[in-house]
Amino acid sequence: MSKLYGIGAQFDSAASLLAAAEKVREAGYRRWDTHSPFPVHGIEQSLGMQRSFVSAIGLLGGIGGFIGILALILYTSKINYPLVVQGKPYFSLAATFPIMFEVTIIASAFITVGGVFLFCLLPRLYHPVFNWDKFARATDDAFFVVIDAGDPLFDEALTAKFLSELGGKNVELIEE
């Protein structure tokens, strides 16, 4: 016995998908998504998406990289191995600035990639919506709305009727 993942409905055009997405959001559904063969302008607002925290994670990664390399340079040049070379001070900002800059950029990049993986729940090599035979057209010429069975408002009959009323065709249950 397979577990129910959700209900999917096919729409004719990007405009009908956009209108349906707005109505699904207005109805109060929280766990749902749209799928289309190309980016649809305005779908983010219809989905109710908010600004991502990935940029903040990148900033924190850069700050952490800068503080980390600064601490390492200070520790090695003043505590671990203090060495006076040609009368120069133990720590020179001008001499260490290039490495601090590079480590800040590299740490920010790696932490940002990690944040993207975390927020996108990657790597996810398989998704239950791939079990739906109609979904293969999502990369060609069809537009879909899929409502997750884990949504608090989800009811098989009522959700299927709701998607049909929105103009959805091929409204079907999707199993995991």
Query: Is pLDDT above 90 for 121?
Result: no
Task: Determine the pLDDT at residue 1.
Answer: 62
pLDDT tens readout for residues 30-78? 999 999 999 999 999 999 888 888 899 999 999 999 999 999 999 998 8
Are the C-beta atoms of residues 146 and 129 closer than 8 Å to each other? yes
Helix axes 156-165, 14-27, angle to 10 degrees: 140
Domain ranges of the chain: 4-50+128-175, 54-119
Least confident of 55-69, 115-129, 146-160: 115-129
- pTM summary value: 0.75
CATH for 4-50+128-175?
3.30.70
pLDDT tens readout for residues 72-113? 999 998 899 888 877 878 888 888 999 999 999 999 999 999
Per-residue pLDDT averaged across 140-151, rounded?
Answer: 94
DSSP class of residue 79 equals I
